[in-house]
Amino acid sequence: MKRLLTGIRVIDFTWVGAGSFTTKLLADLGADVIKIETAARLDSLRIARPFKDRISGVNRSGYFADRNSSKRSITVNAKYEEGLGIVRRLIADADLVTNNFTPGVMEKMGLGYDSVREIRPDVVYASMSMQGITGPEKDYLGYGLIIGALTGVQHLTGLPDREPAGTGTNYPDHIPNPTHAAFAILAALRHRRRTGQGQFIDIAQTEPTLALLGPWLLNASLNGVIDERRGNTNPDMAPHGVYPCAGNDRWLAIAVANDAQWLALCEVLGIVPRDGWARTQDRLSDREAIDPEIAARTKDRDGRELVAALQAAGVSAGAVNDAGDVLRNDPQLQARGHWVQLNHPEMGPSIYNAPPFRFSDAESTPSAPAPLLGQHTREICEDLLGLDDGEVDRLIQAGVLA
């Protein structure tokens, strides 16, 4: 089947999480994403756990693999004049150039927007630094943890009487930043197709994450109220929490939105409804007494069977899955074909995430596993730049293509 971004070429300087995930989305949709790498300074995801068979190596990171499916990799050291020349020649035939470095890094390499625009006047150029290219903190360094802290996500995550806990993963790297960046890129590419004009896109990775905090920001703005951590509770629903099930560290989540759902929950669990808990407002006031009543009736029951019974009764419930459950025991993901197995050159058959969307008349699942470091160097140099084997060999020996 066709892929909707076939014909788009991306020269990709991104690394680590958010930037790599952004260009992965484009690559899975058919764009020719050429990842610019050098062994002199590896993408830190290449040496990030988990490793296949727990054996470390630049081509064995599962984290790197999932963020770089469908791409091609060329190793070229742009600190060499010949290396910079090769990159410039690749840019001359590209539609998009991406990076997520601190402001000024690309300029020091001679590959800032103004320089790139001289090579390709209609280029779309996406810069994804943590704080954008303007403002007093534009040069600050940071990862997903820091973005979560700066934006208020960290403050709201955890239990009321404990330190800010975070989300357990660098959430900004995985959802708000890459999806907002991909949207901006697609809009700029559409504008370019319609007008012939390129764009410089300045993405501050802190700002998409603020979209997660709409209600809390409004509460602070309109009411002067600074919300605090509240664990699994919800100010408008009760019960609303996570409860134990049979087995070691097995749990299910339950969210009751109205009084009818409360009565249905009571029937499934065998709770005798108390008059004092009939209304949501009453249950909100007495949630500390209600939660143990529910836990006492869930702790010896099979979680999946109980979820099925609650859902059949119209109560929102879901098992608390671990990574193994999500991968092997989730019938919904299996039915939708979410997991894609691709044969990686070094790791062998490996599982990849498919995008969370399906097209009626186009393919969107990953087309190839993540590339080995420099796997396509010779192919790119010969096919796109017209270099012969001897010239490629010379450049490799000289450390230019390394």
Segment (H or E) for 312: helix 303-312
* CATH code for the structural domain at 9-211+336-397: 3.40.50.10540
User: Using CA of residue 63, residue 334, residue 368, residue 101, what is the dihedral sign?
Assistant: negative
Q: Reduce the DSSP state of residue 41 to 3 states and report it.
A: coil
Q: What is the pLDDT of residue 225?
A: 97
Which one of 173, 227, 286, 388 is the catalytic residue?
A: 173
* Homologous superfamily (CATH) for 240-328: formyl-coa transferase, domain 3 (3.30.1540.10)
Segment (H or E) for 319: strand 316-319
Take residue 309 and report the two structure tokens written for it: 């019974």
Condensed to tens digits (0 to 9), the pLDDT of residues 31-87 reads 999 999 999 999 999 999 999 999 999 999 999 999 999 999 999 999 999 999 999
Delimiting residues of CATH 3.30.1540.10 domain(s) in the chain:
240-328
Residue 173 annotated among the catalytic residues of the structure? yes
C-alpha 189/C-alpha 199 separation (Å) is 8
Condensed to tens digits (0 to 9), the pLDDT of residues 180-224 reads 999 999 999 999 999 999 999 999 999 999 988 999 999 999 999
Residue 39: left if φ>0, alpha if ψ -120 to 50, beta else—which one? alpha
Phi, psi of 383 (to 5 degrees): -75, -40
Condensed to tens digits (0 to 9), the pLDDT of residues 262-273 reads 999 999 999 998
- Flag whether pLDDT at 143 surpasses 90: no
Show contacts of 184-191: CB within 8 Å, 24+ apart: 184/126, 185/22, 185/26, 185/96, 185/98, 185/124, 185/126, 188/124, 188/126, 189/8, 189/95, 189/96, 189/124
Confidence of residue 170 (pLDDT cuts 50, 70, 90): confident
DSSP code at position 235: T
Delimiting residues of CATH 3.40.50.10540 domain(s) in the chain:
9-211+336-397
DSSP 194-234: HHS--EEEE--THHHHGGGGHHHHHHHHHH-------TT-B
